[in-house]
Structures are given as structure tokens and as C-alpha cells.
Amino acid sequence: MRPDRPPTSEELNFGEPSTPRPAATVLVLRGGAQRLEVLLVQRNPAARFMGGIWVFPGGVVDPGEGSGEDGQRQAAMREVWEETGLRLAGPEDLALVSHWITPAQLKMRFDTAFFLAEAPPDPEVRIDGQECVDFGWFEPANALQRYEADSLPMVLPTLMHLQELRDLPSAEAAVVWARERHVQPVEPRVIQRDGLAHVVLPGDPEWE
């Protein structure tokens, strides 16, 4: 897997770290017991943040949605509805998959809960055409192949989750896998190597 897109100088923060904004993202799956496909949406290329990038549906927590994981669950339900027109079963049915915190070296930071949920029967996706301009259901392995071929631009958290889903046989199996996970926060770091910024994950010798 190629490294994630390096941050640009405009994205880097050389002062005190900013406080991450609470956010939520949902890996929406379909396929039941037969197969596994995950929903990706393409952000508007004109967007200031991650324009043109393919992501899982999601966004920041609104003030009225509460705090902590409860607020993130409420935001996850709302964002999926607003961006895709899909109504998920309920916030309590979302399985927490991971918890990512944007590196302290970046200006725009998020404290993001990644949830997993099966799509409703016969899902009909309706993107908003403003924040998101395209969508697709992808087998994880196919999405990764298209990323390698430079036809599906994605960022590191999306790639890492697709790698984990790649070897699971079905959407139902993925739900079981997600509910058995022990989630620890993941906070990558940005390092300078050969005069360029690179993102590294915990466990990488350069992260230390």
C-alpha cells in the first residue's frame, strides 16, 4: 500500500495544537450473508477540505447532538441521512470500529468515531449533489485496487479500514467482527523526511 497523501504546507500547524472537533463516520455495508460491499461517497472537488476525495459518509457533531460517543452516534445517523438518503436502523445498532484523532501537526483536526452498520434492505442512495457529488458500492479489494491505479483518491483512515474489511466474507461477518473489537484511539503523527511531510501511524519506528 502506498503511503497516504502527504500534507501540504497550507495544512500544517507550526504553533500550538488545535482542539479536535468531534466527528463521526459510518462504514455502510450491504450484501447480507452472501457478499460484502461498502458505500463510498465522493466529496465535492470544490470543497476546501478533502475536495474530490472518496470517503465513508460522515461529518462533525452538531452542538445539539450531545457529547462523547452518544453525540457521535447521533451525528453518524444524521450525516448518513443527509449525504446518502439512507436511514439506518438506530444509533444503538451502530458498531464502533475505531477511533481516529487527526495529527496534532495539522491545522484542521477531528476526533472521529468510525462506526459500522448494514444498509437497509434494497438501499436507494440519493446524494445531496453539494457536499457529495458521486457514490459507489465497492468490494473492499476492488476499491483498494482502484486507489493503487490512481482512479479512486482516498486518505489514510479510509484505506486502513478497507484493508481490514478486505478479507471478511460478508456484510454479516463484518458486523460480528466489528462488535468483537476492542477500540483504542489512533493518533497518527506528521514527520519531516527528506524535506517533505509524511504521515506515520503508531507502531512505526518514526512515530516515536
Query: Does residue 134 lie within any of the structural domains?
Result: yes
Q: 97 and 27 in contact (C-beta within 8 Å)? A: yes
Per the structure block, which three cell numbers stand in for 122? 434494497
Split into its structural domains, the chain has a count of 1
Neighbouring residues of 168: CB distance < 8 A, sequence distance ≥ 6: 36, 174, 177
**pLDDT at 193 (0 to 100):** 75
Structural domain that includes position 164: 21-207
Provide the pLDDT confidence category of residue 2 given band limits of 50, 70 and 90: very low
- Residue 58 burial (CB count, 10 A): 22
**pLDDT at 137 (0 to 100):** 97
Domain CATH code at residue 186: 3.90.79.10
DSSP 8-state secondary structure symbol assigned to residue 23: E
Torsional sign, CA 123, 129, 132, 138 = positive
Share of the chain above pLDDT 70, in %: 89
pLDDT tens, residue by residue, 155-204: 989 999 999 999 999 999 999 999 999 999 988 887 777 767 677 777 66
Residue among 77, 38, 24, 12 at smallest CA distance from 159: 38
Query: Does residue 61 lie within any of the structural domains?
Result: yes
pLDDT tens, residue by residue, 58-84: 999 999 999 999 999 999 999 999 999
What pTM was computed for the model? 0.89
